[in-house]
Amino acid sequence: MKFLLDNWMLITVALASGAALLFPVLSAGKGLNPQDMVQLMNREKATVIDVCEPEEFARGHVIGAKNLPLGQLEDKLAQLVKNKSSQVIMVCQVGARSARAAATARKLGFENVQSLAGGLKAWQAASMPVEKA
């Protein structure tokens, strides 16, 4: 006990550094980062679906993305992506709608659905290309 009291600062620093090391692991699953998304697009031929409204999509989107607004997802996703085991990446402006869209797609039976963490803003911040409709 004396050791803990005498070295409380060292113990605090050790715990803080351990928490900092664990943070990326614990925050994983919140979505893809732009670099991982590019790898999935290139290696796995992932289908990118932008769940923004058409006006937002027209202002800018990931190159090759298909527009399917979140409100139409349940009705039209199966028409857009035929194979439920193929890679699908959901994208929106900041990542909130795409995370909901990914959860909805999983409920519909799509096995490999992910969301771009931070959305189009994170994509642009990583200097990735955007096209306008």
Catalytic residue IDs? 92
How far apart CA 62 and CA 127 sit, in angstroms, is 11
Go through 61-96 and write b for each residue having 16 or more CB atoms within 10 A of its CB, e for each that does not: bbeebebbbbeebeeebeeebeeeeebbbbbbbebe
- Distance between CA 64 and CA 107 in Å, rounded? 25
Residue type, 73: L
Return the percent helix, strand and coil in the chain, to nearest 5.
Answer: 55, 15, 30
Which residue has 């289908």 as its token pair? 47
